[in-house]
Amino acid sequence: MLDILLARLQQKHRTIKFPDGPPPELSDRFMGYPVINSKDCLSDCFLCMEICPTQAITKPEGLRLDMGACLFCAECAHVCPHQNIHFSKDYRMAVSKRDDLQIDDIRKYQPAISLDQKLKRLFGRSLKLRQVSAGGCNACEADTNVLGTVGWDLGRFGIQFVASPRHADGLLITGPVTENMRIALLKTYAAIPEPKIVIAVGACAISGGPYKDHEEVHNGVCDLLQVDLLIPGCPPHPLTILDGLLRLIGQIET
């Protein structure tokens, strides 16, 4: 017991101070919120569109990028001769509406809004989530699980993952929703008592990701259930997920 106490004293305080303190230092390889500038974009140049593995980039009138389909591979930034696309270090990307993930020169980030007053009273200080991997590769699941470690301590915000949907207030979904998981997902949703919320984490859960339009995939959950929070990424960084969850329950409003 004494050894445990001494080890704990040596380790000191290891939980990040987010959101009150500065966010943790992010890796140089971190790909955050995309920044688009179409003013130097040539009308006959389609390099970024051609290299995008999920067709997340279009050029209706200038560049437009769908963060819900983007894998954040940054190949588009590498091939652009004018650097009209680059990825910032901004981890804040969660939104409330699918359309808010469509960004260009004019349409900028619309942060996720908190639940209405009735739901905030219910879930603002105690939110229990049932996580369903609907055919995911376990990358989004792994970064979600990180939030339960001592460095992040998701429970201090009143947010916990539970084993049974009957004990849950909402559903957190990862994966493209394969046909084999569709019924299981819908049954899990039905087992959660009203009122309930739905959170889609990662490109697969939002749009199908690299599996989009495969005959065994339902292109994410947006066409199956009403989604209250969408967190883009492949996978989203734990800080992006945490920021989105706290915005949903009203603990971050800026």
In a domain, 25, yes or no: no
In a domain, 9, yes or no: no
| CA gap 182, 192 in Å, rounded | 16
Q: What local confidence, expressed as pLDDT, does residue 228 receive?
A: 97
Chain-centre distance for alpha carbon 219: 16
Q: What local confidence, expressed as pLDDT, does residue 21 receive?
A: 80
Considering its fold, how many domains does the chain have in total?
A: 1
Question: Nearest 5 degrees, angle CA 197-CA 203-CA 206?
Answer: 40
Q: What local confidence, expressed as pLDDT, does residue 11 receive?
A: 67
Report which residue type is found at 130: R
In a domain, 42, yes or no: no
- Nearest-Å Rg of the Cα atoms of the chain is 19
Per-residue pLDDT of the chain (254 residues; tens, 9 = 90+): 888 777 767 766 678 888 888 777 888 899 999 999 887 787 788 899 999 999 999 987 778 999 999 999 999 999 998 888 999 999 999 999 999 999 988 877 889 999 989 898 989 889 999 999 999 999 999 999 999 998 899 999 999 999 999 999 999 999 999 999 999 999 999 999 999 999 999 999 999 999 999 999 999 999 999 999 999 999 999 999 999 999 999 998 77
SS3 letters across 146-209: HHHCCCCCHHHHCEEECCCHHHCCEEEEECCCEHHHHHHHHHHHHHCCCCCEEEEECHHHHHCH
* Domain containing residue 159: 117-248
In a domain, 163, yes or no: yes
Q: What local confidence, expressed as pLDDT, does residue 109 receive?
A: 83
Q: What local confidence, expressed as pLDDT, does residue 8 receive?
A: 67
In a domain, 11, yes or no: no
In a domain, 32, yes or no: no
In a domain, 28, yes or no: no
Q: What local confidence, expressed as pLDDT, does residue 205 receive?
A: 98
In a domain, 210, yes or no: yes
Q: What's the length of the chain?
A: 254
Q: What local confidence, expressed as pLDDT, does residue 61 receive?
A: 76
The domain spanning residue 174 has which CATH number? 3.40.50.12280
